[in-house]
Structure 1
Amino acid sequence: MSNPFPISDDEVIDVAPPKRTRWRRWVIAAAVLVFIVLSRSLSIYISVLWFGSLGYSAVYWYIFKLKAALFLIFLLLTIGILRGAFWLLERTFAAYAFAPRTIMLNNQPVEFSPARFIRPLAWVITVMFGLFYGFAMKRSWQDFALYFNQSSTTQADPIFQKPLGFYLFSLPVYDEISSWLLTLAFIVLCASVVFSLLTIPQRVLKSARSLSSKSAFAAISCALAVFLLAVAGQTYLSRFPYLWTDHQTFSGVTYTEANYLLPALFFVSVALVIGAALSFVNAFTKRGLRLLLLALAIPIAVYIVGVVIVPTYVNSFIVKPNELGRETPYIEHNINWTRRAFGLEQVELREFEAENSIEALNLGANRATLENIRLWDWQALQDTLKQIQTIRTYYDFPDVDVDRYSIGGQTRQVMLAAREMDVEKLPESSRNWINEKLIYTHGYGLTMNTANEFTPEGMPRFLVSNMPIETRTQEITITRPQIYFGQKTDTDVYVNTAQKEFDFPQGEANTYTTYEGTGGIKIGGRLRRMLLAWALNDLSKLPFSDDVTSESRVLIRRNIKEIVNGVAPFLIYDNDPYMVVSKEGRLFWLLDAFTESSRFPYSRHHQVGSNRVNYIRNSVKVVIDAYNGSVAFYVFDAQDPLIASYRATFPTLFQDASAMPTDLRSHVRYPETLIRVQGEVYGIYHTQSAKIFFQREDVWNVANQLGRDGQDKNQSQPIDPYYVLMQLPGEQVSSEFVLILPFTPASRNNMIGWMAGRSDGDNYGKLLVYNFPQSRLIEGPLQIEARIDQNAELSGQFSLWNQQGSRVLRGHLLVIPIGRSLLYVEPVYLQAVRSPMPELRLVVLAIQERVGYGKSFDEAMTHLFGDAGKTPPQPDAAPTKVDETSPKPAASPPSDDNLQQLIGKAVQEFEDYQRLTSQGKLAEAGQKLEQHKRTLEELKRVGGRQ
């Protein structure tokens, strides 16, 4: 059998890498590097143009320079520290670790030099960790920006007596640097151990082994000393997060931690410093392993005794038998600081009797409240708008918002919905570059309807609707209905081109427009056009389009959430932007922005969106122009230390609240996100008694109600906060816009209080809580829902409607405080199974044990209270009759003229339906068919009565 290794016994194999040309690898690597650099440079160029178009170039360059500085500083520092440590180790062990050696491989001697592997590996590790920490610190630029521009704070925590700014601004940077140093120290320690192991060759003289052993212990001792110092710093800093650690009962430092654990951690850090000193001594005295073991044993012993044994014993045998007494001062810290962190320390408490008499409602004095009770659910209204106001399939209403406007000399509560363009819904045959990029560029207008009115057909009563825009009130005019920036505008478009833009459908033809705004980036010359085409992945179309000229503009990042996150990524934004009509008739988006932290001392963490935070402020209101895309940030809470630091960092970005135009300022509102988390916190922290808090005797929950789930089925769910235009009990102002959140006791359904966030004028941002009397039961939403279910007439009516090819949708139950009483309001909608277009058919009212209903709000009030519930009719009020199949008083027979009018109406509607179907306008045809069906039902009813 032949020898697979035909090598003589005295021949030595050299396993060094073969010498071969590597120019191909270098060329490929250089090409990749050039591509990465060019792509990154292009991204920077586009960002510079975009920030410049918004007027915030200074913001971009500050962030860019800070990121670049952090990346370079920590890249170079990491490489310098690691490379310096490796160089010292190489010098120390050069004679032993890097000496060529021979090993036996398959009974053959193989010679290799460790230096040829260790040195490249050391460089790889050095560069890899340098890049890692360069990018890591670059991502933490916000922490460093706050550290360099931190605002002064006077509040100090009750344990360490350090100012609040230390935890919000300084500690995050200290933690990051400490973690960085600890990692580097650990790498160097591991490297010293590896180099020491390489000093033990297969054949070495005892004298050499002795000398190399001393060098190994010296290197390990120095590396261990540095490592122990880094651990000491980390241990010292690890004491502070106990201030915001969540425990089962409360958050923050406990009795055991304050008196035993935290002092023990301090002594552990001291012991680590002592251990580091012993390691340094060992490096120069070369006492060997015993001193190193002693350097480790001291901090370990202190840790086991002080951090593990003693706190466990104290907690089990001293604290637990008398937990309330021991923890009372720390629970009080938690209550006070949590209320401060969530803006609850200034809550104004008031008593509310919640009587159930007609006199307690005081209808005459609270007419403004009654006239503005919202009868339209936003979900039902959104479904209806998509059927009757989208007009074309490529329009959409992504959201419905509640606001207030002055109409006819009175403040009225209205509901608005922006009509946005969704190019994803264009017919497949129309999905081409010209249509998507040049023609279908924007949405158009909005709908606005009063929140408490509906037509005889159960449809909303519009103040603004249709295309072109039709307004039914002189106070509201819209001069710029085009929406280029919104919630559905997720594509880039080119405007001011030779191609006219589709504006809105009108009859058999369409109306076109040309963009006249200042938004976006000008296309400019050929070079910029090519760069824009590359950046926008449009190289196959943009460079060759004759429609796009040098004066054209490209609108990028048009989604309003993308705009604000791009300009100010350090703020947290509300998920519910809402549209406002200015007095000049322009459309603007208003968006609430928050500052948050998870490091506020003695405050309990709560979920806000995707973040766990224990501090939040609604510090900023953002205004975005729907036509130009310009954005402005207004500071509404100048006392917030976080926003004060951000203002110092970006002085050109923020403006005072007083600088907001008055017509937009009048539409600022208390944010739902804020009151939702405040309600969750207040449910636990409304009590300021440590004993009650510890025993959980008085916990509140947000009230539950029956609401629609994803399958339109009614199920129990927490009430969402809702806006009400009302006169607050105890206030002289006739009506104001407030956000309401009702409460029930934990695990019970009766109401115990309600919270109100104020939105108007000087009262903006104030929080009120009305407490109910403890002496009697006040029914909650679920209990009122049960009373409605138990009403025989209503139950029968619902069953009847559900058997006629339709289904009943019950709206959200609203609890409206009026006078000294509570009025419960629930709208009921009827929706055809084949068409998701809810129609408002019934209004149900309740006041404690009594339930009333009617085809209108006034009729329901009369049914509930008799003649005392009637309110004087509004001038020019349209009839609000909604459904002839609902319970009603007997009516007189109609005349023959009415019958003939209905027949003529039915014929005309059917002819319109046929015409629209033949024209392919299926959406409008469907609406006409629904109207025709209702007319036939009315005709059948009238004919039967005659």
Structure 2
Amino acid sequence: MQKGMKWLTIVIISVLVIFLLMARWFANLYLDWLWFGSLGYAIIFKTILLSEIGLRVLVGLSAFLFIFINLLFTKKYVLQAISSRQYFESEDVINLYQTPVNKYLTPRLLTVTYLVVSAVLGLFISTAVTGEWVIIQKFINGTPFGLNDPIFNKDISEYVFKLPFYQFIYRLITWFIVLAALCIGLVYFISETGRNGLSKLFNSIGARVHFSFLAVLFFLARAWGFRLEQYMLLYSNTGVVFGPGYTDIHARLVAYKVLFFIAIAVAIIILINLFMRKFKLVIYSIGVLFLVSIILGGVYPALIQNLLVKPNELNRESPYIANAIKYTRLAYGLDRVTTKPFPAGNVLSSQDIENNQESINNIRLWDWRPLSQTYGQLQEMRTYYALKNIDIDRYTIDNQYRQVMLAARELDQKQLSEQTQTWINMRLKYTHGYGIAMNPVNEMTSEGLPNFFIKNIPPASSINQKVDRPEIYFGELTDNYVIVNTKTKEFDYPVGGNENAYSMYQGNYGVETGGLLRRAIFALAFADYKILLASDLQNSSQILFNRNIKERVPKLAPFLSFDSDPYIVLDDAGNLHWMWDAYTTSDMFPYSEPFSNRGNYIRNSVKIIINAYTGQVDFYISDETDPVIKTYEKIFPGVFKPIEQMPDDLKKHIRYPVDLFNIQATKYAVYHMTDTEMFYNQEDKWNLPTEKVIDQEESMEPYYTITRLPDDTKPEYVLILPFTPKNKTNMIAWMAARSDAPNYGDVLVYEFPKQQLVYGPMQIEARIDQDTTISQQLTLWNQRGSSVIRGNLLVIPIKDSLLYVEPLYLQAEQSKMPELRRVIVAHGDKIVMEPTLDLALNRIFGTAIKTEQEPIATEPNTDNQTNTIQELISQANDLYNHAQDRLKNGDWAGYGEAISKLKETLGAMSESVKQ
């Protein structure tokens, strides 16, 4: 009795657990349906769900039927085996008896057992194809590339969209056959062992015929597999380049063609043998296939490679190297790159600097790494606010095109005090961040701190850009769900003392909590019973979840790849948006060499806008020539909008993405060589440069700047990265990607004459270290309880020459607030270090060049005595001139600041004279 109750308890608990799991699954599914619908993307949810369910049902049902039918063929044999009477002899008496299996295993129970086994295996296989729906959809909706491969002369779409589908079907068929063979093998093994013992295993004609039938199917499928492997040679990595080489085409391709016919022949022999019953012939034919596969698949290619290719490799491989160059350039968009000559050794004049003030005034003196610490100290305001990432963008400020750095002030709930982390506070009250901080890239205060355009809470702006909707409900730190429009007021920002400002969410892109039933579903989905019990919730309350944009957008579009750096944008109406670049990728572009985990084909085909307040997501097509995004348009009609529909005030902030630029630059460093012999010998391979950052040598990052490209008439926003030759540190070229209309997406490479020396970034770093005055100053600072942080070295093209700029920051040991204290400028044979960029330019070019946007900033008195008398005199003259300019402009505050600094400099001169 107790044992029965125990089993009953186990059954009840099991049923309850299964019910709760199914209920949780349904709740999450229902929640996703509501969420996709609230954003206007129900079509994505329905397409993915129906495709996924349809595929799994079709695959699972096919597997179930195939295995079940094969098992049914064994039914008669099994029943005959178990119905045969067993006997044993004892003292010359034969005793007959029935086995327990014979007694209990009825035909109906055997059929039910086969059904259960087949269903379980079908479910297993259907689970294994989860996520493969996209292969089916791309096969159905594939768009031609209008470009054929050089080997089989098929459109590239045959490989990008169709070949993965054929491979998928081939794998499924192979799984079906193997699993069915294992199942019937186990059945025959048990049946024959029970009847005849191990010595007679698989001796029955029925078992052999059955296995022969499966073998026919297997070898027919294998023949198709050899056919598919011919096309997979387009992705061979065994030669001198990625893609098929001489050996692949003249040996391995031949092998696959021969093996294709042998596999079919083996299948036919096995089929004929069903009637001839000469099973040794089957074994011989399979052995021939195995032997030929070894000879043609391994030995023959090795002989071709070593005897024909290696002795004359360049001549044999030249056509295939040319294919690799062409198709890799196509796959990464390198065929669109325009190359231009750039003169070397030209020296700029002061007039050139004056004529390029737009470029000079936008040289970035703030490095995002030290600036992020300074932002944290100056603008986070409260412990629960965080400015996670510093973004770089450009705005038209007071009719001037300015490059700025900015960061969103997000609310990090994890930083709330422990006693504050109650359910009400975490879910209903502390729901959003507030505003942004923004500073120009080239300005600092007299203390070496950023000169903010927008700062504080609520946001105070000193420019024509205002933040009218500062609340940030969706960002990069918003990992938890919140409920808005409740009876609880939402914390907006601290006013002062113990007072706070409060607000209510005005958007409509959340999911309404509704009545009791819907709240119960939410409680189950979020595993949070308090949603059901909270009295502050109303039927009109909205639950905001998937708020982290790096979770929100990939959930909407899991078929896209994404850039690593979404950036915050302030539109003309004062609203905040996140702008994020998305890529279409493939790993099936013929002859194209793969790049890390991005596949071997990439296009920046989508620009995504996420409203930081409402959470609305919009997808805009930025590359209409991409066949992959055209295919997704067919799969998800109405999801993607033309780029022309993007609001103009947001379109102005589109920029060329860094990740794509890095990939293209890395590939271009090799694939700029289009001559096959030069490529084979890697004669002109380039490298990406390195620089010193915080005294560590690191790879140089691409950097945005506003500059006037050679032969252009106006400044524009470009992304730049230099190149250095192989095994050398001088500069050989630089790449620029344009971000402004109408030239957005154009990539230019300016090449230097190879006969002349152009300093590379590490050579400039070495010159900085070797300069006696600069190195002594750096050593002195590092010994005074502070550390020197070296910022990004920027190579700025000005007219037809280059200007090198590197900022230096000082950080006290007890402080985490780096201050911008020096700017190093190098040009030609000159290298100087001054408190400001304009002073450094004045020393190099010899005239009073002023960058009006840059407030004067000098070093504290503690290190003025290290300057020479001549330097102090020059500095005093510059300060006097600066003071007079401020006086003429009526800037009394600036005049007083300059006079104060002049007094300090004169005092330092007096001390130096005394010494």
Q: Give TM-score scaled by structure 2 length.
A: 0.90
Give, in whole Å, the separation in 2 of the partners of 1:836 and 1:110: 86
Whether 1:684 and 2:687 are equivalent positions in the alignment is no
Q: Check the 8 A contact 2:406/2:438 in 1, yes or no.
A: yes
1:52, distance to aligned residue in structure 2 (A): 1.2
The answer to whether the aligner puts 1:169 opposite 2:161 as a matched pair is yes
Say whether 1:574 aligns with 2:574.
no
Q: 1:347: which partner in 2?
A: 337
> In structure 1, what is the Cα distance between the partners aligned to 2:651 and 2:84?
78
Asked if structure 2 preserves the Cα contact closer than 8 Å seen for 1:96 and 1:212, the reply is no
Describe the superposition over 1:484-542 as per-residue Cα deviations: whole angstroms up to 9, x where unpaired.
00000001111122221111122222222121122311121121122212222220x22
- What CA distance in whole angstroms lies between the structure 1 residues aligned with 2:876 and 2:701? 43
Following superposition of structure 1 onto structure 2, how do residues 23-422 of structure 1 map, counting pairs within 5 Å?
A: 27-92=12-77, 94-96=79-81, 99=84, 111-113=99-101, 116=105, 125-198=117-190, 200=192, 213-247=204-238, 249-287=240-278, 289-359=279-349, 362-422=352-412
Aligned to 2:886: none
| C-alpha spacing 1:391/1:174, structure 2 compared with 1 (3 Å) | same
Letter in 2 for 1:350: K
Could you tell me which residue of structure 1 aligns to residue 740 of structure 2? 760
CA–CA separation in structure 2 for the residues paired with 1:792 and 1:103: 105
* Equivalent pair of 1:441/1:501 in contact (CA under 8 Å): yes
Q: CA deviation at 1:245?
A: 2.5
Map Cα deviations across residues 407-446 of structure 1 (whole Å, 9 max, x no partner): 1211111111111100111112211112211221111100
1:792 alignment partner in structure 2: 772
Q: Which residue of 1 aligns with 2:657?
A: 671
Answer whether contact 1:456 1:883 (CA < 8 A) is retained. no
The DSSP-based 3-state class of the residue aligned with 1:770 is: strand
Q: Name the SS of the counterpart of 1:219 in structure 2.
A: helix
Deviation for aligned residue 1:92: 4.5
What is the correspondence of 1:754-903 to structure 2 with a 5 Å cutoff?
A: 754-867=734-847, 870-872=848-850, 874=852, 878-884=855-861, 885=863, 887=867, 888-890=871-873
Question: C-alpha offsets along residues 213-266 of structure 1, whole Å, 9 cap, x if unaligned?
Answer: 322322221121111112222222122222123346310001011112112112
* Aligned equivalents of 2:318, 2:47: Cα separation in 1: 47
Cα contact 1:43–1:535 (8 A) shared by 2: yes
SS in structure 1 of the partner of residue 590 of structure 2: coil
Cα distance in 1 for residues equivalent to 2:782 and 2:795: 26
- The letter for the 2-side match of 1:487 is E
- Following superposition, the deviation at residue 99 of structure 1 comes to 4.5
CA distance in 1, matches of 2:239, 2:78: 54
Q: Structure 2 CA distance, aligned partners of 1:461 and 1:639?
A: 43
> SS where residue 381 of structure 2 aligns?
coil
Query: Post-superposition shift, 1:153?
Result: 2.6
Equivalent position SS for 1:462:
coil
- In structure 1, what is the Cα distance between the partners aligned to 2:776 and 2:365? 22
Aligned to 1:461, the other structure's residue is in SS state: coil
1:635 paired to 2:621: yes
Question: In 2, Cα distance between the equivalents of 1:813 and 1:210?
Answer: 77
Unaligned runs of 5+ in 1: 1-17, 709-713, 899-933
* Residues in 2 aligned to 1:153 and 1:877: alpha-carbon distance in whole angstroms: 51
Counterpart CA distance in 2 for 1:295 and 1:277 is 10
C-alpha separation between the residues in 1 aligned to 2:148 and 2:503?
60
In structure 1, which of residues 626, 629, 633 is the aligned counterpart of residue 612 of structure 2? 626
Alpha-carbon distance in 1 for matches of 2:665, 2:350: 27
TM-aligned CA deviation for residue 735 of structure 1: 0.6
Matched, 1:662 2:648: yes
Alignment partner of 1:731 out of 687, 712, 724: 712
Preserved CA contact (<8 Å) 1:199 1:212 = no
Amino acid at match of 1:707: V
Give unmatched runs, 5+ long, in structure 2. 90-94, 884-900
Structure 2 CA distance, aligned partners of 1:721 and 1:128?
53
**Is the CA contact (8 Å cut-off) linking 1:463 and 1:471 kept in structure 2?**
yes
Matches of 2:289 and 2:269, distance apart in 1: 12
1:427 aligns with 2:408: no
Residue-by-residue CA offset, 1:268-320 (whole Å, 9 max, x unaligned)? 02111110111111112322x22211331332233123222221111110111
Contact 1:754 1:769 in 2 (8 A): yes
Q: Secondary structure at 1:372's aligned position in 2?
A: coil
TM-superposed CA distance for 1:328, in Å, is 0.3
Question: Could you tell me which amino acid in structure 1 is paired with residue 708 of structure 2?
Answer: Q
2:180 counterpart SS class:
helix
State the percentage of identical aligned residues: 37
> What's the CA shift for 1:36?
2.4
2:709 and 2:559 map into 1 onto residues whose CA distance is: 36
Question: How many aligned residue pairs are there?
Answer: 871
Q: Secondary structure at the match of 1:454?
A: coil
CA spacing shift, 1:455–1:210, aligned 2, 3 Å: closer
In structure 2, distance between residues paired with 1:663 and 1:443: 23
Equivalent pair of 1:605/1:612 in contact (CA under 8 Å) = yes
Other structure's SS at 1:393 match: coil
2:81 touches 2:194 (CA, 8 Å); kept in 1? no
Shift of 1:377: 0.3
Q: One-letter code of the match for 2:329?
A: R
Once the two structures are TM-superposed, the CA of residue 98 in structure 1 deviates from its matched residue by 6.8
Q: Secondary structure at the match of 2:336?
A: coil
What is the TM-score when the length of structure 1 is the normalising length? Answer: 0.88
Structure 1 window deviating more from structure 2 (302-311 vs 493-502): it is 302-311
RMSD of aligned Cα (Å): 3.0
Aligned position for 1:559: 548
Closer/same/farther in 2, CA of residues 567 and 546 from structure 1, 3 Å limit: same
Q: CA deviation at 1:612?
A: 4.6
Whole-Å Cα distance in 2 between the matches of residues 227 and 71 of structure 1?
23
Q: Once the two structures are superposed, what CA deviation does each residue of 1:543-577 show, in whole Å capped at 9, x if it has no partner?
A: 22222222221111100111101110110111101
The answer to which of 329-338 and 248-257 deviates more is 248-257
Q: Distance in 2 between matches of 1:103 and 1:191?
A: 31
2:697 pairs with one of 713, 716, 739? 716
Q: Which residue of 1 aligns with 2:898?
A: none
| Whole-angstrom CA distance in 1 between matches of 2:64 and 2:194 | 33
3-state SS of paired residue (2:608): strand
Indicate the SS of the match to 1:362.
Answer: helix
Query: How many Å separate the matches in 2 of 1:527 and 1:83?
Result: 42
Classify 1:75/1:821 alpha carbon distance in 2 versus 1 (closer, same or farther; 3 Å): same
SS at match of 1:519: coil
Q: Which residue of 1 aligns with 2:576?
A: 587
Aligned to 1:358, what secondary structure does the other structure show? coil
Shift of 1:880: 3.6
Q: Provide the rounded CA distance (Å) in 1 between the counterparts of 2:909 and 2:830.
A: 33
2:505 aligns to what?
Answer: 515
1:331–1:101 distance in 2 versus 1, CA, 3 Å: farther
